[in-house]
Structure formats: structure tokens, C-alpha cells
Structure 1
């Protein structure tokens, strides 16, 4: 995923942990579109762009919006 290696270890953990939580309760078709393809820091949050073209903020507390 573009930008992952530029994140700090803490930011990488936030991304991985929040993405697992984000996909946990949804079906396979939904999961496929929400595969992260690009990530960048945005203040305390991460801006995560997905395969479907949408993007969300992932927060240090494991929330997304």
C-alpha cells in the first residue's frame, strides 16, 4: 500500500488494528472494495484511501469516519 512504509510504527499499528475492526462485521463484497491502497498522516489521524475510491479518517482510538 502506498505510504505505509513512511508511517511510524504506531501509525502502522493504528492502520492495521482499525482496518481489521472496520472489516470485521461486513460481507466479502464490501471488504474487497474497502482494501486500503494509500495512507498518509493527517494530524493525529490517518487518511486512508481505498480500492473503491472512497477515503476515511482512521483515529488513534480505532474509530473511522
Structure 2
């Protein structure tokens, strides 16, 4: 399951880079959404990082 998530993340980053290089007009409106959603995105990333760190801490105590 972990490998699938990494593969999806790499695919999304690759597609974004390709769109920025070849079709920046398609991403013109998307950046406005990202600016508006930056707060929830940062909060979500913090929750993911906290969850991952708790997971590794529990693995170390076992």
C-alpha cells in the first residue's frame, strides 16, 4: 500500500511539471485555488507528518 501512495505522488508531481513546461495556460486558474487552499493543505500535511512520526515512535517502542 505504501508503494502505491508513493507511485501516485510521483505521478502527480510528474504530470504537474509536464503541464507547467508544456501547457502553463491550463494551470493558470489552478494556482488561484492553491493559494486559497494553502491553509488547509498545510494543516493536512502537518497532520500527516504527525501521524507518520507517531507510527515510527510506536514501531521503536515495540
Larger Rg: 2
Greater strand proportion: 1
Greater helix proportion: 2
Higher relative CO (CA 8 A, sep ≥ 6), structure 1 or 2? 1
> Same-fold call, TM > 0.5?
no
